[in-house]
Structure 1
Amino acid sequence: MRIVIVFESMYGATEQVARAVADGIDGAEVVNVDHAPADLTGVELLVVGGPTHAHGMSRAATRESAAQRVERPMLSRTGVREWLDSVGPVPRGLATAAFDTRLEKARVLTGAASLGVAKRLRRLGCRLVVPAESFFVGTDPADAGPKAGELDRARAWGAALGAAVRRTVS
């Protein structure tokens, strides 16, 4: 089974979560959105994740603002939003899942990029196999890594996601 996890990450927290999800799924390939495939032929599970910026998926302006907060290069130059808009034909009914990283506050206050990702995946004809998920990060841009326990939670989410897809494929 070919499983692809595409992530967008500014400071590395979302990449860490993506890799933890992959650890839980076992056998997934993890790809920075800058190098994500435009052709999803042969992919049986697509997982897409990114940081929450201004209540949703990042945009060029929010990435620029994020870049100005720290003195190091951003990990992703492209956003999940742009990649999803540019992806070629998607196999009908492709099994997918969406996640984001965000501050640990009520979703009504922070928003959640995963909801926008999930909506775009559905518009492409994909089938969400689990509800969109958020993983929480710290507040200091220079060290905005996942909060304690979030990588374990991401591994468990990945394991549950992998099991759900394998049940539907078998």
Structure 2
Amino acid sequence: MAPGTTALLLLVISQCISAALITNLPGAPAANFKQYSGYYTVGATKNHQLHYWLVFLLTIFGLRYFPTDPVLLWLTGGPGCSGLSALLTEWGPFMVNDDGATLRNNPYSWNTKASVLTLESPAGVGYSFATDNKLKTGDDQLVDGVCMGQKLCYEKTLFAECKICIFSSTRAVSSARS
């Protein structure tokens, strides 16, 4: 994994812990794991807001957190596609019911094995946005968004000991590793 990608992931997750706890997700069953959602500011002019949804590891013992638990970063490819579609239809803790308005538990959720961070990158994808209207969704912007934390020190962050893996549905991982 590219050093900048690791740094950004750790930085985003560290910020997620202190804010944006999802306590009630309308239409969803009660969750027995923690999850966070919100925005992370990126870009030299701080005009880009990347949307994230972090789902913590679920264990048979209930809520827990160990700094060595694995973390997965999910990037839906293109780049230019929202990661929430996969989160709600494939591997996330909930799946959309046929009524389109409610959710059910997903017994095959990846958060039975790891904490999962869905990052909608670059700005302009999904709920991510740019306040300066300078939206581009190519490989360069994906790499800029994912690698912006390259120079930040994360030795003492919450997830510094974690094994971090990047997953995607297409070539987003290849772009992020550039």
Tell me the TM-score normalised to structure 2 length. Answer: 0.27
TM-score, normalised on structure 1? Answer: 0.28
Which has the higher Rg, Structure 1 or Structure 2?
A: 2
